[in-house]
Structure 1
């Protein structure tokens, strides 16, 4: 596979301690109807950590800091720009919020919400992102 066929992306599993315990930040995409972790493409010359923090800020309106890398996922997709089949490799980081409010600024998303781990796992659209949240929870709860 040519390197041009691989799209690099980065995202965050942002977790905080709320009144009822751990909470995970999820985004709701309007079209298609999806619940997601914040993530997006790494820009040329940008480090994955910088991209992940930028995506969390842009998509959810949350300032965050990275605690550690979590996992890397890979999936195939058809690029809307040129209708070509590509591989997307996304590295996710465990993050904690530095701000308590959410304010989605990306028009693709209409909600950024804090959910219990069980609710977040139930709502997430994609198995790969459920896996990432599971890795984060096991790490935070000392089960790995």
Structure 2
């Protein structure tokens, strides 16, 4: 089995979260493989920018997930292990990267996004991350 380390972002703007629809019609969060000596934080920021066209900053770690699938092109099973970061978009501006196979995407209210997201791990991640995000924003406003 091929193991790949990845990093991604749970990107919030106000009371919305950014999700993407991929080529398999799955609603997912932006993420990518960590290559060479890249830092996970840089990969998460870069993938959010590359896949979603969103300028975002990292507020905190969100946790980790992993999933396995069979890669037809590699002819072997693959395990993606993802470290996630809670991120805040600097504006509502985005541009879904169709060249990477994404069909659509955008900022959606949390409840709506949770209904749309395909995988239960990512649903839980968004739900927990949103609680942390709200706490972080409350603390920021209190300063």
TM-score range, shorter chain: 0.7 to 0.9
Alignment of 1:121 onto 2:114: yes
Q: Secondary structure at the match of 1:93?
A: strand
- d(CA) in 1 for partners of 2:47 and 2:98? 10
Which runs of structure 1 show a deviation greater than 4 angstroms over 4 or more consecutive aligned residues? none
The residue number in structure 2 matching 1:35 is 27
Q: Secondary structure at the match of 2:5?
A: strand
Say whether the 8 Å CA contact 1:37–1:129 is kept in structure 2: yes
Alignment of 1:71 onto 2:63: yes
Corresponding residue pairs, total = 134
The residue number in structure 2 matching 1:59 is 51
Deviation, 1:83, is 1.6
Distance 1:47 1:80, change over 3 A: farther
Structure with greater helix share of residues: 2
The residue number in structure 1 matching 2:130 is 137
Of the three residues 9, 13, 26, the one matched with 1:12 is 9
Question: Which sections of structure 1, spanning at least 5 residues, go unmatched?
Answer: none
- Aligned ranges 1:43-122 → 2 under 5 Å: 43-107=35-99, 108-122=101-115
Question: Which sections of structure 2, spanning at least 5 residues, go unmatched?
Answer: 136-143
**RMSD, aligned CA:** 1.4
- d(CA) in 2 for partners of 1:100 and 1:35? 19
- d(CA) in 2 for partners of 1:25 and 1:89? 21
- d(CA) in 2 for partners of 1:57 and 1:80? 28
